[in-house]
Structure 1
Amino acid sequence: MNSLTYPSSTQPCATMRRAPARSWRTRALSLAVMGAASLTACAAPSALSVSPAGVPAFSEDMLSPEFWIRRAPSPDAVLLNASQVAAKRERAFGPDGGLVDLRRIPATLTRAQVSEWVREAQQTPIKAAIDEHGQPVTEAMLDELRRNAAVEHIAETSAARYGLSVRRTAMRSLPSDRQFFPAEELRDYESLQAGILFPGEPVVIAHQSADQQWLLVLTTQAPAWVHRGDIAEGSADAVFSYVAKAPGRVVTGDQVRTVFTPEAPEVSELALDMGIALPRADVALGEPVNGASSYASWPVLLPVRGQDGALAFSSALLRRTADTAPGYLPLTRANILRQAFKFLGERYGWGHQFNGRDCSGLTSEVYRSMGLFLAPNSGMQGRSAALNHQLFTAQDSHDERVRALAQAEVGDLVVVPGHVLMIIGHVNGEPYVIQDVPYAVFKDPATLQLRKTKLNQVSVTPLLPLYADDKTLYVDAMTSLVHVTRP
């Protein structure tokens, strides 16, 4: 199978429903950390101490996955077998699973449906206040981009068209490469960035922009605008047959690239993120591929775009030394930890900007390398019908929440409004997490005042002291504790 797999179930799925106000890309802009319970000196520094890096209750050895693997119960035990993983993958494309089954989109699209997709694509939680030059964004500027969406040219009915992405390409809220930001000091959050498509992902092509440089596509995540040149159009059978192929290699590193080849530039040094699964190319051992022998590499099959935009396929090579596997990794606690820590220190990237990822991108790619598909947004990860949840409301007390976190397992997800964190273990009963987060804000033990440390990367922090805002602890804002690894 490719980077996505579709279920065989005939159940209808919620392909036309979206979370309101683009909550699928809402992220917390700060993390607050206050003193945790006392930790022994051999395990970690005092909870009242702050490391030179500006993170409390932290020691350098916590930055190694082995530190947490040693503490995990039965770290190499398989938590879900292949059939159980496949069942969860199927549910992810079912009702309220969080992903769209594109095969169930009607073959004939209506003006009303396509217009709704245009409207949905335009929703963004990031205010467009200044442009890339630091100048104010005016309504006239936004109207110009909206006009490029050419809503008035949507046909009353049209045939659904299909395609595959041929490279890592940005999903955009409007058909434009313009960059808008909420403030000069918040340039890590770009208003029109709506996610990412990886090589080999399927789309339904619904409309094109007035300048004909952009396509409105429905992806498995949501509708969005993408560059026309990054989509190869083919028949539904060609697209979904490719997606359904068994994995030849699964990317298990944070990102790998295909071998450089001037003979086939369309598949040369393509960026492939964690969890992407590519079918094996039909190449005999040692047979040359794009000017190089295949004996020391893995031959894989990738979609390419012809000059006329038509879908074709080309062989490419992945070095045997690259961080890949012949199939999805076994779902074990050790693998969850090792996969998550491969992102440690990576720059925070809203909607996969900066060639990176954000909080839900981190969690979804870790699990995708083991065959589990999570929704692309933190809110849906917290309530997806494909996963097991312990939900929390205002009626749940602080102590009840703390007890639940004391029982949390490696790989569980903690969801608060706009953010998701992954449990990596406990030290003296205190839960710790790995998360992709802009800031650590905590109460300085010396001054008892809030102190803000800019992390802006995948980081390891304690959990119980975290704040959702200046007054509310994350534990008290927690809406869901997601038990991803339970059947």
Structure 2
Amino acid sequence: MSKRAAPPTHRLVPALAALACGLALATGAAAAPPALSVSGIPALSDAMLSSDYWIHRAAAPDAVLLDARATAAQRAAAYAPGGGFIDIRHLPAPLTHDAVVDWIRQAEQSPVKLAVDDMGRPVGADTLQSLRDNKAANRIAATAPARYGLAVRRAAMRTLPSDRAFYAAADQRDYESLTAGTLFPGEPLLIAHASADGRWLLAVTTQGPAWVHRDDIAEGAADAVFGYADKAPGRVVTGDHVRTVFTPELPAVSALDLDMGVALPRADVAADAPVNGASPYASWAVQLPVREADGTLAFRPALIRRSADTAPGYLPLTRANIIRQAFKFLGERYGWGHQFDARDCSRLVSETYRSTGILLQHSSALQGTTTAVRHRLFTDKDTHASRVEALRQAQVGDLVVVPGHVLMIIGHVDGEPYVIQDVPYAVFKDPASGQMRRTKLNQVSVTPLLPLYADDTTLYVDAMTSLVQPTRR
């Protein structure tokens, strides 16, 4: 997700005319992919939709690329200047009027025009004013103490304090205008302001400022908030979604939705004592933040089934794990800023890497410029040939960043790179007719990379601004 670029129109043209594909797996030879698959993707075979296909092709797939110390150093660098994450514990306090006003302004920035409502009706000046009045900008104090909290559930981040849905056009519902991202259970934040109706808090998160439902945040002392955030992972979610065990005894931690890479500390519970009405012997006990009736922060144990897709810590950073984790999202619908309980292009790669302990930002623009990982920047001085060569030399897990979009390298076939990406459309020249063909994907997809188009005239390779290399020092 990129809040500074317009929603991407992803255009795909076929692999070069002679992308002959003598494919071979470690288990034996495979037939060349068809020039055009039945799904409308060029140079793709069904075998390529399996993570094993790409793991078998990878060089030393199980070799650890960055050890635990290097991974921890990368996480620290993500919060350093240029890393792209906001270290909220070091924001100046007390809060000033001007700082809060600026956060409100930053929160409202969105690339998606607010033009029609969920009934397709044009949005008038009165509606816009009503939305902005709820920001209560006239109630900002000259100074205020810094307050902190933790997200207690998966929570929507909004550009304005409203649940109403708006779009750029009635037929463009894949991009909701007020969507600003998602907070995950246990994420720390600074509480800067409250809406006029009292239902929303302006939260400065590690991703930036946004409006969040008050009920999704528990407020606590800084020591409690950051002490929880600093705890070592007891269980890391390695599936696309995992839920805590249902419990009517404590609804606040019942069937809580946990996304890939969410890390929760271990809860110290007796092996023979029930947790929320159930024995913990067949589950993992984790500690979760909860919101008390008065809005204050507390911590309670919850259970995650042992059969659920989790790990006792971050997964080793290997090529096999990168591929395996990314493919757990294959076929998931495109979800701008986590719309539809899904992910967009930048969240696909950030959650894949988060399960290995590597932090990548929530937008493709930040992923392409962060100083927390190694990357190569491209300008108009780089030739087409040098760009193509860089992609052919790219390794599994490298990220190709173009304006408004990011793709992940999963391997090569006859030297040509293939990617996994969360992409709305594939547009390409039909190999038989030579005519442009538009295939709607709107999901996490596997495609060839060369040559992709950023627009009607510019190849993705020529629009590439950065080749990010999170697996290399």
TM normalised by structure 1 equals 0.94
Of residues 19, 24, 38, the one that matches 1:38 is 19
Amino acid at match of 2:216: D
Residue 447 of structure 1, CA deviation: 2.7
- Cα distance in 1 for residues equivalent to 2:117 and 2:272: 51
Which letter maps to 1:245? K
Indicate the SS of the match to 1:288.
coil
Partner AA of 1:35 in structure 2:
A
| Gaps in structure 2 of 5+ consecutive residues | 25-29
Alignment of 1:223-372 (within 5 A): 223-372=209-358
Query: Which region of structure 1 is more displaced relative to structure 2, 133-142 or 330-339?
Result: 133-142
Match of 1:183 in 2: 169
Output the CA distance in 1 between the equivalents of 2:115 and 2:184: 29
Give the Cα separation in 1 of the matches to 2:289 and 2:157: 18
Q: For 2:73 and 2:41, locate their aligned partners in 1 and report how far apart those are by CA, in whole Å.
A: 40
Give the secondary-structure state (helix, strand or coil) at the position aligned to 1:314: strand
1:33–1:462 contact (8 Å) kept in structure 2: no
Q: Tell me, yes or no, if structure 1 residue 377 matches structure 2 residue 363.
A: yes
1:48-63 correspondence runs (5 A): 49-63=35-49
% identical equivalent positions? 65
Q: 1:411 aligns with which of 397, 406, 423?
A: 397
Distance in 2 of aligned mates of 1:387 and 1:149: 36
Question: Contact between 2:33 and 2:45, CA under 8 Å: does it hold in 1?
Answer: no
In the aligned structure 1, how far is the partner of 2:7 from the partner of 2:34? 28
Whole-Å separation in 2 of the counterparts to 1:139 and 1:389: 44
Q: Which residue of 2 aligns with 1:139?
A: 125
Q: Do residues 478 (structure 1) and 458 (structure 2) align?
A: no
Deviations 1:145-186 (A, max 9, x none): 000001010000000100000000100000001111111221
Q: Distance in 2 between matches of 1:344 and 1:329?
A: 19
Cα distance, 1:365 vs. partner? 0.4
> Please, which of 96, 104, 108 is the counterpart of residue 118 of structure 1?
104
Task: Give CA deviations for 1:289-328 in whole Å, capped at 9, x if unaligned.
Answer: 0000000000000000011000001100000000000000
What's the offset of the Cα at 1:34? 2.2
Q: Which whole-Å CA distance do the structure 2 matches of 1:416 and 1:45 have between them?
A: 32
1:93 Cα offset (Å): 0.3
Contact 2:275–2:303 (8 Å) recurs in 1: yes
Whether the 8 Å CA contact 1:39–1:45 is kept in 2: the answer is no
Q: Which residue of 2 aligns with 1:397?
A: 383
How far apart are 1:50 and its partner, in Å?
1.1
Matched, 1:99 2:85: yes
In the alignment, which residue of structure 2 is the partner of 1:207? 193
How many corresponding residue pairs? Answer: 467
Deviates more, 1:294-303 or 1:137-146: 137-146
Instruction: Report the Cα offset of residue 237 of structure 1.
Output: 0.5
What is the rounded CA distance, in whole Å, between the counterparts of 1:440 and 1:359 in structure 2?
14
SS in 1 for 2:112: coil
Q: In 1, distance between residues paired with 2:166 and 2:95?
A: 31
Letter of the structure 1 residue corresponding to residue 178 of structure 2: L
Specify the code of the residue in structure 2 equivalent to 1:152: N
**8 A Cα contact 1:122 1:174, kept in partner:** yes
Deviation at 1:232, TM superposition (A): 0.3
Stretch moving more, 142-151 or 282-291: 282-291
Which residue of 143, 166, 169 corresponds with 1:157? 143
Given that 1:39 and 1:46 are in contact with CA atoms closer than 8 Å, whether structure 2 keeps it comes out as: yes
Provide closer, same or farther for how the CA distance between residues 55 and 78 of structure 1 changes in structure 2, counting only shifts above 3 A.
Answer: same
TM superposition shift of 1:22? 3.1
Q: In the aligned structure 1, how far is the partner of 2:123 from the partner of 2:34? A: 44
Q: CA deviation at 1:395?
A: 1.1
Distance 1:33 1:172 in 2: 35
- Taking the aligned partners of 1:385 and 1:27, their CA distance within structure 2 comes to 25
| In structure 2, distance between residues paired with 1:326 and 1:303 | 19
1:431–1:261: structure 2 CA closer, same or farther, 3 Å change rule? same
The C-alpha deviation readout for 1:219-257, integer Å capped at 9, x for no partner, is: 000100000000000000000000011111000000100
* Structure 1 residues 469 and 405, CA gap change in structure 2 (3 angstroms): same
CA distance in 2, matches of 1:45, 1:473: 28
Match of 2:27 in 1: none
Report deviation, 1:343. 0.4
Structure 2: distance between partners of 1:246 and 1:35: 45
1:464 aligns with 2:444: no
The answer on 1:192 being equivalent to 2:173 is no
Give the secondary structure class of the aligned counterpart of 2:284: strand
Indicate the residue corresponding to 1:430 in structure 2.
Answer: 416
In 1, are the aligned partners of 2:398 and 2:471 still within 8 Å (CA)? Answer: yes
Residues 403 and 71 of structure 1, relative CA distance in 2, 3 Å threshold: same
- Give 2:60's aligned residue: 74
What's the CA shift for 1:128?
Answer: 1.3
Q: Which residue of 2 aligns with 1:3?
A: none
In structure 2, what is the Cα distance between the partners aligned to 1:29 and 1:314? Answer: 44
Q: Which segments of structure 1 move beyond 4 Å, counting only runs of 4 or more?
A: 41-48
**Partner amino acid, structure 2, of 1:306:** E
Q: CA, structure 1 residues 66+46, in 2 after alignment: closer, same or farther (shift >3 Å)?
A: closer
Query: d(CA) in 2 for partners of 1:419 and 1:479?
Result: 10
- Normalised to the residue count of structure 2, the TM-score between the two structures is 0.97
Give 5+ residue unaligned stretches, structure 1. 1-18
- Looking at structure 1, the residues matched to 127 and 433 of structure 2 have their Cα atoms a distance apart, in angstroms, of 46
Separation of aligned partners in 2, 1:391 and 1:399: 15
Query: Residue 91 of structure 1 aligns to a residue in which SS?
Result: helix
Letter in 1 for 2:228: Y
CA contact (8 A) 1:35 1:443 kept: no
